[in-house]
Homo-oligomer: A and B are copies of this chain.
Amino acid sequence: MKVMCQKSTLLSAINNVSRAVASNSTMDLLECILIESIDDDRIRLTANDTELGIETKIESQVLIPGKIALKARLFSDMIKKLPDSEVIIESDDFGKTFINCEHVHFTLMGLAGDDFTRLPEISRDRLVKISQFDLKEVIRQTIFSASVNANNKVMTGELFHIEDNVLTVTALDGHRIAVRKLLLSASYEPVEVIVPGKTLSEIMKILPGEADRMVNIFITDRHILFEMDETIVVSRLLQGKFYDLGKMISADFETRVTVNKIAFLQCLDRATLFTTDSEKRPIILQIEDDVMNMRINSPIGQMNDKLDIGREGKEIRIGFDPKFLVDVLRVVDEEDISLYMMNPIAPCIIKNDEESYFYLILPINVNN
Contacts and interface: CB of A to CB of B under 8 A. Distances in A.
Given A77-B273, A273-B74, A301 B109 contact: yes
Contacts of A104: 267, 270, 303-305
6 contacts: A81-B269, A104-B267, A104-B270, A107-B302, A108-B300, A109-B301
Nearest to A269: B81
The 4 closest A-B pairs by CB, nearest first: A108-B301, A105-B304, A81-B270, A107-B302
A180 B130 CA distance: 61
Interface residues of A, number: 27
A105 B305 CA distance: 6
Interface in A67-96: 71, 74, 77-78, 81-83
A181 interface: no
A106 interface: yes
A267 B304 CA distance: 57
Contacts of A77: 273
Nearest to A297: B107
Q: How many copies does the complex hold?
A: 2
Interface string A88-121: 0000000000000001111111000000000000
B303 A273 contact: no
A68 to B, nearest CB: 13
Nearest to A295: B105
A306 interface: yes
B305 A103 contact: yes
Interface of A: 71, 74, 77-78, 81-83, 103-109, 266-267, 269-270, 273, 300-307
Nearest to A100: B304
Given A74-B300, A74-B301, A103-B306, 16 more contacts: A71-B300, A78-B273, A78-B301, A81-B270, A103-B305, A104-B267, A104-B270, A104-B305, A106-B270, A106-B301, A106-B302, A107-B301, A107-B302, A107-B304, A108-B301, A108-B302
A297 to B, nearest CB: 9
Contacts of A103: 305-307
A106 B307 contact: no
Contact of A273 (B81, B83, B109, B305): B81
A315 to B, nearest CB: 20
A326 to B, nearest CB: 12
Contacts of A273: 74, 77-78, 81
Nearest to A306: B103
A303 B107 contact: yes
A105 B301 CA distance: 11
Contacts of A105: 303-305
A104 to B, nearest CB: 5
A160 to B, nearest CB: 37
A29 to B, nearest CB: 16
Contacts of A302: 106-108
